[in-house]
Structure 1
Amino acid sequence: NPVAVMPLIEVVKVPTTNDASLATAMDVAKKLGKSAVITADRPGFVVNRLLAKVFGEAARALDEGTPVDVVERAYAPIGLPMGPFELIDLVGWKVAAHVQDTMVGAFPERFYASENLHRAAELDEVVVKNKHGKVEDLSKAAKNAFVLGKTAVPEDEILRRVQDGLATEIKLMLDEGVVAAAEDIDLCMILGAGWPFQAGGATPYLDRVGASERAFGAKFHTPPIAGVHA
């Protein structure tokens, strides 16, 4: 963020898109100094669809009663530049609630609907951060507004949920033809979501941690891609 400085453009191709229009879009992206990935016209395209999974599993754990700092810490092994709630606070709680509604409306069986996201969208301050900008707690207003459970979820379970959820969603996206190959998704997540490039992208990471096998009984890549420090 902001959009103008992001190095990625998702070029949406619909059934009526002709080759000349597609080539023009790709050329414009190149002249803007952006990397372009062709995607199908599906809810969330690539980056927002997968970030909605990331946000949704974080919201689920919070709603169940997990402290917000524990949820942030649970995501750390993925290597994203920000924890889920730090990122939501940056892009905006209203934006996150809107993306959630879009994805839940399209795929209600796979995306989590959190009413607390809508409550957060009405607050001036949702989280408390330390001097480094990292989320440490919910604000007093959020604690008063949110409806939370009392069962904290262990960090390893939160991490496994988001890993398996991402693996499942990416496999479905490939089956749907949202993009041509897993490498397109990896490029989108590296350039559009800050996924650590040294990990090789999202799909090699999900292969290495066993999420692909757990989710659909196979791997995205054979032979596997090791990544740096893997």
Structure 2
Amino acid sequence: MIFLIGDSTVKNGRGKGDGGQWGWGSFFQQFFDTTRISVENHALGGRSSRTFFTEDLWNKVLPGIRKGDYLFIQFGHNDGGPLNTGRARASLNGTGDESQVVIMERNGGPEEVFTFGHYLRIYIRQAKAVGAIPVVLSPTPGNRWTNGKMNRMTETYTKWAKEVARQEGVEFIDLNDRTADKCDAMGEEKGKQLFVDSVHTTYDGAIINGQSVIEGLQSLNGFSLNQYILK
């Protein structure tokens, strides 16, 4: 079994293409021999590495994960912004062990907020504890361009996700760079057509992100999941 956790770029809304917006996880099963392995997409729009955990979404996924299953982890798009006001979903920058106690606007109570890397480590370590195989992904690229080239997240969430994966000894796929390369190759005008807005993809954009994930997997020599990818 393959489990996916993440934000709206993995599963948008109910995963039915509302508003023409799709996450790549809605089509991920089409790349695999589904008579041998299946995909469960537990991503939820608007969630960050922090709120997927604090809203108990992870605690609903973890009990279903078994030894030998795969867990794909992709966060970052919603990890910025305010810590304790409004949607209050931000994590602290980086991968360190620092934390900050904030008073939450919504209920007046305290919450200890940790780094982006800290929350990724929770998912990785708890999945490994039951014998599952985590795979960390960078965020997908957004529909933002500079001089005809798509902007990357090389110094923020991509970098931090890669650092955590290396520290924890799990595989990492740079989905940000792989899809941005594809968009650069087709040009800004065509690349922008893969998006509904600054972040969310059309059907075609979601398929391209899925292809980038598969290409990332295929670049991992001897990775056990690859035996299930359709040729």
Do the two structures share a fold, i.e. TM-score over 0.5? no
Instruction: Please report the TM-score for the alignment, with normalisation by the length of structure 1.
Output: 0.31
More helix by share: 1
- Larger strand fraction of residues: 2
